[in-house]
Amino acid sequence: MSNNIVDVVPGVSSQEEADTLMILHAVDAAKAGFTVHIYSQNTDVLPLTLRRVPELGANTAMIMGTGDAHRIIMLQPIFNVLGSEKAKAAIKAHSLTGCDTTGGIYGKSKK
């Protein structure tokens, strides 16, 4: 794996949330011809990324975990099983069940 420097044009988005900005920059890198691997411990990033798999490319992966306990998750197979519509809907479902900005549905937990 190697890191590459990609010029990012400032001011191209009004997004302030780091999760969504990361995905926008990843899409820009993919359009420039780079293979994208996204490293994040935040589960909010997965549904955001799944929606953009067609723009990110077939070899896009998420790397989650730390040290020896990290996992590389290829996103294209997940997208293929879900299909485009369900991949887009995953963001909405995640926001209802408790993403970073919501506490979840009253009386319902993830357990």
Q: Burial, 28: exposed, middle or buried (Cβ in 10 Å; 0-12, 13-18, 19+)?
A: middle
In the predicted structure, residue 24 carries a pLDDT above the cut 60: yes
Model pTM above 0.75 = no
Q: Which residue has the higher pLDDT, 35 or 11?
A: 35
The candidate with the shortest Cα–Cα distance to 45, out of 86, 77, 5, 90, is: 90
Q: Percent of the chain at pLDDT above 70?
A: 68
More confident residue, 11 or 23: 23
Is the predicted pLDDT of residue 102 greater than 50, yes or no?
no
Section 82-102 average pLDDT: 73
Long-range contacts of 94-103 (CB under 8 A, 24+ apart): 94/43, 94/44, 94/47, 99/43, 99/44, 100/19, 100/42, 100/44
Could you tell me the two tokens for 36? 């994208």
